[in-house]
Structure 1
Amino acid sequence: MRFCFAAAKISNAGRQQTGETRVADRSSSAGTGDGATRSPAALAVEQWTALMTQAQTAMVEASKALPGVAQGQAARQVADFWRDQLGLWERFVAPAGEAARAPEKDKRFADASWQTPAFDWIRQSYALLSDHLMRGVDALDGVDEVQRAQLRFAARGFVEAMSPSNFPFTNPQVMQEALATNGQNLVKGMQNLVADLGRGQLTHTDQTAFEIGRNLATTPGQVVKRTRLYELIHYAPTTEQVLETPLVIFPPWINRFYILDLSPEKSFIRWAVEQGVSVFMVSWKSADASMADVTWDDYVAAQIDAVDTIRDLLGVADVHAIGYCVAGTTLAATLAYLSARGEAEKVRSATFFTAQVDFANAGELKHFVTDEQLALIRSLSPEGFLDGRYMAATFNLLRGRDLIWNYVTNNYLLGKDYAAFDLLHWNGDVTNLPAGWHHSYLTDLYRDNLLVEPGRLSVNGTPLDLTRVETPTYIQAGREDHIAPAESVWELTRQFRGPTRFVLAGSGHIAGVVNPPAANKYQHWTLDDDAAPPDTLADFVARARETKGSWWPDWIAWLRSRGTEMVEAAGARQPGRGALPAIEPAPGSYVRQR
């Protein structure tokens, strides 16, 4: 029996039993007769009923394509779904009584307008369909866990896309706004959509609110070196003395470096300078056609070049180094390369922000390294570089509800003004990637996981073996990181031979890192230095001590424990006053190139 027919019967029965007042209040009927005027709620119910009918048909047709036992299993799941759906209709048209409503946890449906009966039914039926689809994936027989994870990711994307909050006639907030503004919200939303189509990118924040060098990336400094791959920024000291051993930071080249130099109160760079550290930042160039030949070897060589440049400029034997995300992966390769060549002493300590070297459990990004996905990526790079907007879209898909559909509703349907949010401005400030390097990174690391196999990867002819690295390392992971899962970052502790300190921070890939002490947000977990080394992340969590607030103070204490010698912040410690003259003020030119 088709659902729309059953719905009509139940709706009519509800009218006979409860009277016209209840039916009019609920607007549950698919229609009130030829030529009758139907309320917006009734239209919404009708549209959603039609969509559910189409979903039923699709589920039935899909089950016919499955063999044997799987087909029977799918048929039972379809039957279970429609039994639950009809039960929902019965509760809708003949409620047993008004029960206290628990606070809505899903912010898509938190507005009070979703509590009206018709839209409450739409919301509940959507939740029911979503639950059955996801459970159906988990119950599938004959698929391995990799395939199941891919299906679960695809199913989640589907249910997020079909949410009634994403469509004007099934979202009561949009309908109310259209009535209140005579449809101007939809006009403004269309303007927003056309503008985004022109940009080729979804807008998340007010594009006019931020400007690099004005209210982003404002820590004073000078560009003191420029190569075809990077600019080296030397930041001006703010203390009379600084640690003798300088710090060089390698940010990921899939994003702009100023994630670590947002507004002054959020800037890790400014904070590190205030702690008496001589700070250098590598600002990577966004790829263009001239960089088609760039490989991972070039990025390793660039890191070593930056280290040697700073050593020579300041006349020091070694540096501290930080690698964030993919640049942390590369820093691990750099340490292995230096160790193999007997030059490990150039780096006194290495810090890793949410970086991975073992990609066996690298999270949902692994869904994008199938042969089909890799072929698609190659087709998108005809000029030798991958447009950063494709990477941005990929990362948005990992959090589609928050980074895609939330903005479809707010920007295109409600026509709201964009909020000013520095983090989202940075998130949309994309960089291009050298196509050859990007392809080898996805295949060699994400797909084939070669970096943790000694000798399988080489840099400039030198085989890499992470287990030879004895450099002291500080490893930070984010508890809710969906890009570099904490379980994957943990594997760094199992690869290096030298002493390691692991810190688990609250929040995720960005907020877990950019968490200044003054904000007093989140928390972090550590073990005492004399504690027995844990074997697993679960063991670490079970024994770790929780500390409220930022992990930055723990890091600076660890860094100082690697050497407390101080020098005057004079001469070459001042940007541009040593052997390398200033080229231009920070944040430089590469960060502004598109």
Structure 2
Amino acid sequence: MSQSQPRPETSEPPVFSDYAVRDPEAFTRNMAHMLEHLGKAASAWVEPRERGEIDDGPISYGDVVTTLSKVGEYWIGDPRRAFEAQTKLMAGFVGIWTRSLHRMNSPGEVSAVPTPVADKRFTHEEWTKNLFFGFLREAYVLTSDWAQTLVDDADGLDPHTRQKAAFYVRQIANALSPSNFVLTNPELFRETLEQNGENLVRGMKMFAEDMSRGDGTLKLRQSDATKFALGENLALTPGKVVAQNDLCQIVQYAPATDTVFKRPILISPPWINRFYILDLNPEKSLIRWLVEQGHTVFVVSWVNPDARHADKTWQDYIDEGLVFGLDTIEAATGEREVNAIGYCVGGTLLAASLSYLRQRGDERVQAATFLTTQIDFKHAGDLKVFVDEEQLGEIEKAMERGYLEGTRMAAAFNLLRSGDLIWPYFVNNYLKGREPLPFDLLFWNADATRMAKANHLFYLRNCYLENRLSRGLMDIGGTRIDLSEVTIPVYNLATREDHIAPALSVYEGSRAFGSDVTYVVSGSGHIAGVVNPPARGKYQFWTGAPPSGDLSFEDWWTKAEETKGSWWPHWQGWIEAQSSERVEAREPGGGHLQPIEDAPGSYVRS
């Protein structure tokens, strides 16, 4: 955050009645009720910790102290350097104080007041007009910028420590924003007085409920969950579960055209959250759109693992997931040639499986599409903050029951965008006392799944920590994975604002394959950039030359061609170029497999 150029502003004296308690008796009573609910929340937090049932996470507070201490060591190691840093901060405060005094002493004059940066937290007019709240805002922006600069300018830090320090400083700054507290947020303060604190009673009641729902971990409500149900207003594309095993169900969708492409599609979704992100509703559903284009679509619906799945490895997820899906497709349609789509970590698994299966003589996947998938993890973004040897040890301890709770992963993903996914909801829910609005995407986001111990540790170590996949060093079941031997056509989609699989990281991963890769960047982020139906006319996408060792991402981006709208039709043109032959439409099971239940199936509800 940075200060912008000053603009004229007329200082108006505050109206005291706006900041006075309306009904002292009601206010006192409501404060007592608020404390009662807060006590229930505290009990829900303490009890499982006293029983030793949960550990705090995903951030290790010891690691925060250790990391930021390394930054502090650089600055206090040289008195002159420390003095200059402190002087810079104090000079900024003096400037804010001087402007505030001038406005206070000359309320009728037009004075220079810095315009707030484009920040949704500070849109209320009192952040600019009111002397007190304006001072708080300016002081917060100044201090946050200064703290971030200390990290950026600290020499001698290794890249991982610097990345962690910057991340932790950002989390602290987001948490300490004056917009997050009743007494320092003018809008909250006025609402609290106008309602005599009833907003805090409602909010703390929700806070206690959410703490209890999370069994001692705050399960922040981001959407009204009562407004959604799978099979009723989510995941509506018609289909059947045509096969299942201990690890997954295979869903085949009913055709919507008289003829279909000869090659079926197998979708490998992430096992973090649920596959119905690709089938949210009829207007947003990628799965429905694929069916309407004439594709026979099969989806792997992963089980929500428990202690029984603790020892399931990546080899199991390939053999009992993707290979099981390929076998199901062959049994239902008679086809051996398949086009595969992998999303996020489901795409990472698909990439590894291409080499794994090829070396075993299985070349049924003839073309592969990757959606926001990382294969090279050198530039993997802020998720790397949670992965080093010490933190892997802590994660392993947290999986003593054979799995990692989904709430821990959900918290980690929310922290990546805490300014959007945590604190606005904290303020709205618990301080304003308002129920969140129904939003299908955030309902899905909160529908977290557990992580099987062996599978998750393998993923974190081999990908995030040691970056083995792209370097040809990953071993699965005694098979060395070498993506340079994968020569099938590849379509690799990144998104411009992705905080999980950055576009640079996806680009670098494209170079690992032995074939020319069609690399595409979509507008928006990890979800919205993928789930972008053509009918909505939103965003854009960029195309360019195949990634190569001679072409950097920056050069690719400079020369890329922008096209308005969704990337879906571009992909359809690409996949038709691989195989355009069509056959009669296929019903789920094809008369060879007996459907088990209607889509989306029971595993996605577990």
TM-score by length of 1: 0.86
Residue in structure 2 matched with residue 92 of structure 1 by the alignment: 100
State whether structure 2 residue 78 is matched by structure 1 residue 78. no
What whole-Å deviation, never above 9, does each CA across 1:47-106 have from its counterpart, x for those lacking one? xxxxxxxxxxxxxx9998668644432332122212211221111011473348746510
How far the C-alpha of 1:528 sits from its partner, in A, is 7.1
Structure 1 counterpart of 2:471 = 453
What does 1:68-467 correspond to in 2, within 5 Å? Answer: 69-95=77-103, 97-99=110-112, 102=115, 104-115=117-128, 116-200=130-214, 201-301=219-319, 302-344=321-363, 346-454=364-472, 456-467=473-484
The AA in structure 1 aligned to 2:87 is A
Q: Which has the larger radius of gyration?
A: 1
Task: Give the equivalent residue in structure 2 for 1:545.
Answer: 561
Q: Which residue of 2 aligns with 1:56?
A: none
> How many corresponding residue pairs?
534
Counterpart residue identity of residue 580, structure 1: L
Partner of 2:530: 513
Whichever residue aligns with residue 495 of structure 1, its letter is A
2:592 maps to which residue?
579
1:500 aligns with one of 483, 508, 517: 517
Q: Give the C-alpha shift of residue 436 in structure 1.
A: 1.7
CA distance in 1, matches of 2:209, 2:123: 29
- CA deviation map 1:245-288 (0-9, x unaligned): 00010100011000000011000000000001001111000110
SS in 1 for 2:225: coil
Rounded Cα–Cα distance in structure 1 between residues aligned with 2:413 and 2:72? 34
- The 3 A distance-change label for structure 1 pair 263 and 23 is closer
In the TM superposition, what whole-angstrom CA distance separates every residue of 1:106-139 from its partner, at most 9, and x where no partner exists?
A: 0000112322221111101100110110111111
Report the residue type matching 1:553 in the other structure: P
Query: Alpha carbons of 1:199 and 1:121: their partners in 2 closer, same or farther (altered >3 Å)?
Result: same
Shift of 1:443: 1.0
| Residues 288 and 70 of structure 1: CA distance in aligned 2, closer, same or farther (over 3 Å) | farther
| Contact 2:255/2:296 (<8 A) preserved | yes
Q: Deviations over 1:264-314 (max 9, x none)?
A: 100000000000100111100011010011011111212122112202321
**Shift, 1:499, TM fit:** 3.0
Amino acid at match of 1:519: R
* Contact map agreement 1:475 1:492 (CA 8 A) in 2: no
Show CA shifts across 1:360-391 (max 9, x none): 11111111112232122122212101111000
Query: Superposition pairs for residues 481-492 of structure 1, below 5 Å?
Result: 481-492=498-509
Deviation at 1:471, TM superposition (A): 1.1
Deviation at 1:357, TM superposition (A): 1.1
Distance (whole Å) between structure 2 residues aligned to residue 532 and residue 484 of structure 1? 19
Aligned to 1:13: none
Helix, strand or coil at the partner of 1:158: helix
- Whichever residue aligns with residue 298 of structure 1, its letter is D
Report the AA paired with residue 222 of structure 1: K
Given that 2:250 and 2:298 are in contact with CA atoms closer than 8 Å, whether structure 1 keeps it comes out as: yes
Deviations 1:154-189 (A, max 9, x none): 111111110001111101111111122121111111
Q: Is the 8 A contact 2:332 2:590 kept in 1?
A: no
SS in 1 for 2:578: coil
Query: How has the CA–CA distance of structure 1 residues 313 and 381 changed in structure 2, closer, same or farther, with 3 Å as cutoff?
Result: same
Structure 1 residues 380, 169: CA separation in 2 closer, same or farther (over 3 Å shift)?
same
Among all aligned residue pairs of Structure 1 and Structure 2, give the percentage whose two residues are the same amino acid.
Answer: 46
SS in 1 for 2:110: coil
Aligned pair in 2 of structure 1 residues 322, 67: CA closer, same or farther (>3 Å)? closer
Secondary structure (helix, strand or coil) at the match of 1:98 reads strand
Unaligned runs of 5+ in 2: 1-10, 17-68, 104-108
CA contact (8 A) 1:231 1:284 kept: yes
CA separation of 1:175 and 1:519: change in aligned 2, threshold 3 A: same
Q: Which residues in structure 2 correspond to 1:4-43 (within 5 Å)? A: 25=14
Name 1:48's counterpart in structure 2: none
Q: Which amino acid aligns with 1:94?
A: H
Q: Report the Cα offset of residue 144 of structure 1.
A: 2.2
Q: Secondary structure at the match of 2:511?
A: helix
Greater mean alpha carbon deviation, residues 177-186 or residues 476-485: 177-186
Cα distance in 2 for partners of 1:348, 1:576 equals 22
Counterpart CA distance in 2 for 1:300 and 1:577 is 24
Amino acid at match of 1:585: D
Q: Given that residues 63 and 75 in structure 1 are in contact (C-alpha distance below 8 angstroms), is that contact kept between their aligned partners in structure 2? A: no
CA distance in 1, matches of 2:132, 2:438: 35
Deviation of 1:577 after TM superposition, in Å, equals 4.1
Structure 1 unaligned residues grouped into runs of 5+:
1-21, 28-60
SS across alignment from 1:491: helix
**Runs of at least 4 residues off by over 4 Å:** 22-27, 61-69, 99-104, 531-534
Cα distance between partner residues in 2 of 1:415 and 1:502: 45
